[in-house]
Every structure is written in C-alpha cells, then in structure tokens.
Amino acid sequence: MSTDKPDYSRRLVVGGLTGGLAAMATGGARAQDTQAAAPSASAPPLVDPTTKYPKPPFPRQEQDWPGLASRMDPRPDHGEESYRGSGRLAGRRALITGGDSGIGRAAAIAYAREGADVAINYLPAEESDAREVADLIRAEGRKVVPIAGDIRDEGFCNTLVESTVRELGGLDILVNNAARQHAMSDISGLTTELLDWTFKTNLYALFWITKAALPHLKPGSAIINTTSVVAYDPPEGLVDYAVTKAGIMNFTKSMAKQLAPKGIRVNGVAPGPFWTPLQPSGGQPTEELPTFGSDTPMGRPGQPAELAGVYVLLASGEDSYATGQIYGAVGGRGGP
C-alpha cells in the first residue's frame, strides 16, 4: 500500500505557472488582435463606391461605330493609373478580343501588370485606342501583339488565334469580349443585315475563336466570356443583343461541362451598365446617354477598371474550382 501523499504544493506551483503562461498567451493574443485590428498607416482609405466615379448627367455625345474611348466625356477609367499587379499571371499568354477599349482594355492592362503577355484584337477604326493599350503593356515589360481585324469573318478568327500562338509562343487565357450593340426601339427597323452583324460579332465569333483556340489550351488554361445583365433582364430596345448575350451565357455553361474533364475552366462575366465606347456609338439612344446608369442603386454606370480584378481572378489559378459560373457586376440590379 502506497504511503505517498499528494504534493499539493507542487500542484499549486505548476498550476500557477500554467495559468500564468495561459494568461500571458491570452494577453499576447489579445495584444496581437488589437494590433491587427488597428489600421495600417499605409492602408488605402475606404472609398464610397457610389461616389468613386462620375455620376450622371453626362454631356450629350455621339460617335460613329465602333467608337473611341479617347473621345468620350468623361473618359473611361480602365485602370491606367490605378491597377496594381502582384504577379498573379506571371508567364501566362492571353488573347483578348475588343482589347482596345472598355472592359477588354481593362483586362489587358491588368493582365500585363500581373505578368502576362497579351494579344489584343480590335477593328482597324480603333487603331488609336489600341496603340495606347499597347504602349501601356510594353511599359510593364510585357510583350503585346496588336491584331486588327473583323471577327465576323471565320478565316480571320482562325488567323487571329494562329498569330497569337505564334507570336506569344502559346496560349493560356482566352477572353471573348468584343461585342456589337445597336439600340433599336422597334423590331421593324431590325434588318437582316443588322441582325447578322450582331450575331456574327457576338456569337459566331465566339464559336470560331474558341474552336481555333482549343488545340492550344492545356490543363489549367481558362476561357472567359463577356455576357451581360441583359441576358437576365432583356430591355425592349436591345432585342438582338440580348439574345446573343443569353446565348453566350449558355455557351459558357455548356462548354464548362465539356472542357472540365480536360482541365480547362470556362466562366463568364455579366456586366451591367458600363461606361464604354459601346454606348455613345449606337449602343444607347443618344437622348438617353446623359442619364446612363442613373437607374442603378449605385446611381452611376460602372467603369471598366472595376471589372479588371474579376477577369484576373477568373484567369488565375486562385479560382481553380470555379467553372460554368457567371460573375455579375451590375451596380445592384438584375444579373446573376
């Protein structure tokens, strides 16, 4: 039978020591929490998104199709001064249609600042805008391949992809972004020629370019298609455009299922009203342009720079489980 007695004094010492260590740890954690909660001196201030960019009314303006960003008032923000990269797309090679202005331009600038080489497609009439983008990409030390041409032509779509692959040494990211939009209040004015123009630009080219690109895309590659809020809430004045944008949404979801086993992700972005050359060059009735975007809860249209991060996320490996998704940026109304 043991005659040992419990050493209460030792328990007290050990217990006190343990409690003291616990208190120290807790106190340290609380101090760290307090320190973490304190705003960094270098942290940017919070910005109210409703006042971050210009609000309507805008000056009355009109341009011939396809329009130039350099002639818009106010001039759109594509992230020229604001976007900061962090190497998230280092070594990647991207093709962006409609990369001279608007959302495509914002994506091109962001991709270059994230370390990617970029090919941009645009119409010959958009050459001056395209030169600006090319200069911005070169300023980041990245390679740029400007390719002018009309994607309504299947042969050109094939050449576009072939030229991109040859000049960049491959292809990892495809952004189908270029679009045709022409407001028409009455379907009686929607001629077969206009319908064909919209469908070939927005839908046919989507098929042609994607088909041409697929043999070059390896597992881990990404396809990003620009659809629209009108795919979900079609307005009466954009019948043909809304049909194509709904088609792009469904193309995205179908192709995501088809290509997921090959390790290729396919996603879409559905912008709401964004301030791009699409609007003053026939996309909106001239008389309605001064109030463009005012009916959103944000009270203003979006700026292309506000979508750059979405296109970067979808192109990067950070979003590797997302495919067949449509990411909305609509200012608070409609969309996915």
Q: Which strand (E) or helix (H) includes residue 304?
A: none
**Residues tagged active-site:** 241
Which of 177, 237, 230, 234 minimizes the C-alpha distance to 202?
177
State the first-to-last Cα distance of the chain, in angstroms, to the nearest integer: 77
Separation of alpha carbons 96 and 133, rounded Å: 12
Residues 6+ apart with CB under 8 A from 196: none
Query: What does the block give as tokens for 295?
Result: 């009916």
At how many degrees (to 10) do helices 192-199 and 239-259 cross? 30
Rg (CA), the chain: 26
Separation of alpha carbons 180 and 194, rounded Å: 10
Separation of alpha carbons 176 and 161, rounded Å: 12
Q: Which strand (E) or helix (H) includes residue 199?
A: helix 192-199
How many other C-beta atoms are found inside a 10 Å radius of the C-beta of residue 125? 14
State the amino acid at position 117 in one-letter form: D
For the chain, the farthest-separated pair of C-alpha atoms sits apart, in whole angstroms, at: 107
Give one word for 297, left, alpha or beta, with left for phi > 0 and alpha for psi -120 to 50: alpha
CB 77 within 8 A of CB 50: no
State the amino acid at position 174 in one-letter form: L
Q: Which strand (E) or helix (H) includes residue 38?
A: none
CB 335 within 8 A of CB 232: yes
Query: What is the secondary structure of 81-110 as a DSSP string?
Result: TT----STTTT-EEEEETTTSHHHHHHHHH
